[in-house]
Chain A
Amino acid sequence: EAGVAQSPRYKIIEKRQSVAFWCNPISGHATLYWYQQILGQGPKLLIQFQNNGVVDDSQLPKDRFSAERLKGVDSTLKIQPAKLEDSAVYLCASSQSSGGGNEQFFGPGTRLTVL
């Protein structure tokens, strides 16, 4: 079974530029998550999709971050414009459903550096 795929693995941009990350979840997984992991911290949920609908985006900075999951499969996360404090690893995860105890499978992440 293929895991969660993410690209690119690394990205370096200057502040005020825009950037996009892509995630392909495990086939058949209805729930998709985007997390932000700042160095030295645990992951923080940015947005959760159930199929192609948003379940929770309460911690997504909506003035600069946007995410979509077209057709309930792949997802993209965009930052425009980027700030220095956006430097982090962006992790995508998927699970079969959103219930408690459902294992979330994580991708390798995209490391973003904002200069």
Chain B
Amino acid sequence: GEDVEQSLFLSVREGDSSVINCTYTDSSSTYLYWYKQEPGAGLQLLTYIFSNMDMKQDQRLTVLLNKKDKHLSLRIADTQTGDSAIYFCAESTDSSYKLIFGSGTRLLVRP
């Protein structure tokens, strides 16, 4: 079956790097996504990675994918207070493009 798991909470100091981790069970996952949700707002796509890639970098964001261990991580460099939000990992497969979301990791950035 499909399952995506994340740790619930992460607290970092402003200026440090944040690393949010995610594990998934579906070996046929084709795309893996990171979404950000701020209070009272919808989800915003931050980045996604295709399963044949190991890494993707986009400005302050770095996504690492270990397909063997079914482990995905999101690193945010120089974390700012505006990065405080809930971050969701999600996956989809070629056979079903629907998104399967994890339960989210709440990131708190301390000044």
Contact = CB atoms under 8 A, between A and B. Distances in A.
Whether A and B are associated in the same complex: the answer reads: yes
Interface of A: 4, 33, 40-45, 48, 56, 91, 93, 98-109
Contact of A42 (B31, B48, B90, B93): B90
Interface of B: 4, 30-31, 40-45, 48, 50, 88, 90, 92-94, 96-99, 101-104
Contacts of B40: 108
A38 to B, nearest CB: 10
Contacts of A33: 98
A108 B96 contact: no
Contacts, number: 52
A56 B96 CA distance: 9
A107 B42 contact: yes
Nearest to B101: A42
Nearest to B8: A40
A111 to B, nearest CB: 9
B4 A42 contact: yes
Nearest to B88: A42
B97 A43 contact: no
Contacts of A42: 4, 88, 90, 101-104
Contact of B101 (A44, A98, A103): A44
Contacts of A106: 42-44
B42 A91 contact: yes
A41 B103 contact: yes
A108 B42 contact: yes
A45 B104 CA distance: 16
A44 B99 CA distance: 8
B89 to A, nearest CB: 8
A98 B50 CA distance: 16
Given A42-B90, A56-B96, A104 B101 contact: no
Nearest to B50: A101
Given A107-B42, A109-B42, 19 more contacts: A33-B98, A40-B103, A40-B104, A41-B103, A42-B4, A42-B88, A42-B102, A44-B101, A45-B98, A48-B98, A56-B98, A91-B42, A93-B43, A100-B30, A100-B93, A100-B94, A100-B97, A103-B48, A108-B41
